[in-house]
Structure 1
């Protein structure tokens, strides 16, 4: 594996590759927990990503090794009184298995932090996949300075 990895802000030219990696991420989560919790469609994901990037509602940084996608981090801006205004949410971070334990995840989180500071965000928030299957993911985020704030992520389908 080449350790010469570049990271850049995603453009429309990156959306197909990012959408493929989103599918890999979701499949990995569902395999680990044994439950089909996501409905993934590659074309719909790419279309959605094109739209969100184009409207600057979603920000993605892509890592490449020898021109091939190795991982990505995605962010969006949120607002809350408890957070003292604007802050960033990190809904997806994915590093392809061949690049894990290489420091790439740390580099992507660092890119996300720098981007957040440039936007004046007060913090970054992330929700891990289900525990205990993803205890290593939680440990990674804690090593990167994230702290557990309590609670669980809940949803209701509309």
Structure 2
């Protein structure tokens, strides 16, 4: 396989949304409205003040995966750091090192940004133990559960 990783751009917004919608369908079991996601994706990709990036993995013309990353800041991290928002590899391309290459790319990006850490909210370990194992192999360690409060 000839894998190429490149940064996503505005023209990739629909592709990024399709992959993320597939991820969310796997996690939640219900489809999403891609039209709204495409508009959000375009806004995030073109807003240069906010550090948000997507990297796409290709074999020829076929996109095999995506990772999205954004910047956050906190006192406990002593400033800015990255958060993986989504990471998705199409099922037929899993366990082929694509996730490893996407993680490598975002680590390089984080170093260029001056971050000293990247965090990720992982899914339920009971259902997604392979996902947790993948992240641990890539150098991540468990810090505890992540909680969410919906405001709308």
Q: Is the 8 A contact 1:84 1:122 kept in 2?
A: no
- Find out whether 1:42 has 2:25 as its counterpart: no
Note the residue ranges of structure 2 that are not aligned, 5 or more in a row. none
Q: Is the 8 A contact 1:60 1:72 kept in 2?
A: yes
Residue 29 of structure 1 is matched in structure 2 by: 27
TM-score, normalised by the number of residues in structure 1 = 0.90
- TM-superposed CA distance for 1:21, in Å, is 0.6
Distance 2:109 2:17 in 1: 21
Residue 12 of structure 2 is matched in structure 1 by: 14
Q: Is the 8 A contact 1:127 1:153 kept in 2?
A: no
1:119-156 deviations in whole A, cap 9, x for unaligned?
00120000111231011111100000001112332223
Residue 58 of structure 2 is matched in structure 1 by: 64
SS of match in other structure, 1:52:
helix
Residue 97 of structure 1 is matched in structure 2 by: 91
TM-score, normalised by the number of residues in structure 2 = 0.94
SS of match in other structure, 1:137:
helix
- TM-superposed CA distance for 1:55, in Å, is 0.1
SS of match in other structure, 2:136:
helix
Residue 127 of structure 2 is matched in structure 1 by: 133
Q: Of 107, 112, 115, which aligns to 2:109?
A: 115
Residue 139 of structure 2 is matched in structure 1 by: 145
Distance 1:111 1:4 in 2: 16
Distance 2:58 2:125 in 1: 29
Distance 2:2 2:56 in 1: 14
Size of the aligned set, in residue pairs, is: 150
Residue 124 of structure 1 is matched in structure 2 by: 118
